[in-house]
Amino acid sequence: MSEEGLQPQGLTLDGRYRIIRRIAEGGMATVYEATDERLSRQVAVKIMHLQLAQGPHRAQFIERFHREVRAAASIANPHIVQVYDSGEYQGRNYLVMEYVRGVNLRYEMNLQQTFSVHETLRITRETLEGLASAHESGVVHRDVKPENILLNTRGHVQITDFGLAKAASQATLSTTGMLLGTAAYLAPEMIELNQATKQGDVYSVGIIAYEMITGSVPFASDNPVTLAFKHVHDDVPRLDVVCEGIDPEVAILIGHLCERHMDARPADAEAALKELRACEARLSPEAGLFTMPAPGPYEAQSRGTQTDDDSALSQSSSTTQASIVSTSALPMNPPAPRSDETVNLSALPSSAYSGAPNSENTTVLSEGPGSEPGKQHGNKRKRPVIIAAIVAVLLLLAVGGGASWWYFLGPGSYWAVPQPTDISCTANTVCKLTGAEFSKFKSTLAVSGINYSTTEAYSDTIAKGRIISSNPESVGAHVSKRGGSLTIVVSKGIQQATIPADLLDSASTAGKKPLEALKQAGFSAVTHDENADDYSMDVPAGAAISVSPEPGSTVNHNAAVTVVLSKGPKPVSMPDIVGKSKDSAQQQLDEARLKVSYAEDWSDSVDSGKVISATQQAGAQLHWGDAVNVVVSKGPQTVTMPDVRGQSSDDASKTLKALGFDVEISAPLGDLTHTVRLQSPDPGQTVRLRDHNGKATLITLTVV
């Protein structure tokens, strides 16, 4: 059966899933809207394409598909599109998934072009939270891209296409030569070594974050093969160079996610998530608002529009030998482009699968009289105020002064602050709202009709969601109905702080001044006991040797943090090693933790193997790690006596003196021929050049 021949609309799969309509087409599957008639809920059914379910690798593909389906279904996280069920229809496997109303990130990126740092980090954080659950379950997404990141109607991330992409690649890479994924977001190791790694998912997330901030991906090319190899051979440009004025920590964070070398990136999504949260905690509100100007029409072409090589809508499956195949389910409303066209994603409907969110799902939320509804609602609220004013005037005219007092000065002129249901009040004492759970008190306020407004603040003593303070502060206090309002401060709980990840790196800014860095990070209970500080050869004085909790930990700002600082290298005295054996000297120098280098020299007074001298005098004040040069004796210098017999006394004398000897000429029978007949010591003997006092050895030559 051809792909076109499959038209399951109206059919019921497995006696349960009634197909309503086709909503999206991807490189690996077609997605249909369906109704789960057993549970009466809307679902999305993804049915594999025919070519993936046929051929010699069918059994292998199906087996791996089932394994990946189980893996994907095992991931429970609100940021992942849930997999409910799987089955088979006409020889093709299908998945039953959560139906998500909303848009994919690609649509939103085409709409906004650039995002603020704050919004980029939020979407990136939620994406990493979903991937962290997957990585913990041993599942690598492998195809993270904007088309697979859905934004539901509440704006939160839900990642789709888990498992199927990886299973498809395992069955097709060796037989079709196709490279799975979208080239603009593929990690270098995926392209070069075909390695699907957790770090690869992190890389793809980094590229998406880069694109959200700048409005374009870091590498662009009309040829997907060229684009892929740019990822292999080129580093992603520094974000603080491309975006002048962006917070350097944001640039460092995204640059770390996009490192070309796999081992240089965070190990997985959880590690990346910790770095991102630490960055968010340190980010100022002004830095979070940073937004790049939207790129012009020409620049926008590089933001992720996809050629026929990676378009999920491409009608041709053989346009190039190295086709980039997308597993995304893109909306089907536009006609499929020709193989030489670019998919214009900005024209797609605003839904995660297709169509805009239904208007019936759009609701207006009001938190009571203190909230700020829209104009229409505000106009409705003006009407009773006007009516109340008219009634007040009529009452004044009708009943005179008594009624006037009640409405303008008496109980009719104010609201009384109601008592929260979870607060006990003792008679004759001031009863404050502090500690009441605001979510419950909000209902009480709505019934009382009192105007109120809320702000949030951190509190070390009041639990999250409970009231810290109010104005007026006590139950029964009066709030004027003429412009008055009850103001409430709700606790956000104890403020969190993150120990700088580089606190133990003495070369970093935080590492050089760890106590100041912890204070700047927001910690208020840092313990530093100077008596616990220790000497270190490797850590400079004032830098941290250890910190508890460990760097990167996010804890309550008032949690106890213990820091041990370095006192630097310990002071030591130079040991007396002259005349000692080399082994003995080495032991003493090691105990003093001094760095020693050795040289050897002849010595007439120091035995071989013993220390002649050192560059530091015994008792000199040094520190661990200081350098000391030591000279070790090779013993006295010796020479093998040459044979100078038969030579003239002058020549023989010159030869011996050149070696360093003194020469004495002896002529007991007279010196007629000036020829050496005898020498002492004899030729061939080993003779010291100098005696113990350094005096040259005397050689006696006898001449006739």
Which residues carry out catalysis?
A: 143
Residue 179: closest CA among 61, 327, 26: 327
Cα 518–chain centre separation:
20
Tokens of 412: 């009719």
How many angstroms separate the CA atoms of 33 and 9, rounded?
Answer: 9
CA 576, CA 415: separation in Å to the nearest integer?
Answer: 90
**Which parts of 234-340 fold into alpha helices (H)?**
239-242, 248-257, 269-282, 285-288, 297-300
> Cα(371)–Cα(377) distance, rounded to whole angstroms?
11
* Spatial distance between the Cα atoms of 134 and 131, rounded to a whole number of angstroms: 5
Q: What is the 3-state secondary structure (H, E, C) of 360-415?
A: HHCCCCCCCCCCCCCHHHHHHHHHHHHHHHHHHHHHHHHHCHHHHHHHHCCHHHEE
Residue 323 Cα to chain centre, angstroms: 31
Q: What are the φ and ψ backbone dihedral angles of 133, each rounded to 5 degrees?
A: -65, -40
Closest CA to 418 of 346, 476, 487: 476
**Both tokens assigned to 337:** 């482009």
Reference 159, options 105, 229, 212, 234; nearest CA is 105
**Strand, helix or coil at 477?**
coil
- Dihedral of the alpha carbons of 513, 518, 521, 523, in degrees to the nearest 10: -160
Q: How far apart are CA 207 and CA 184, in angstroms?
A: 8
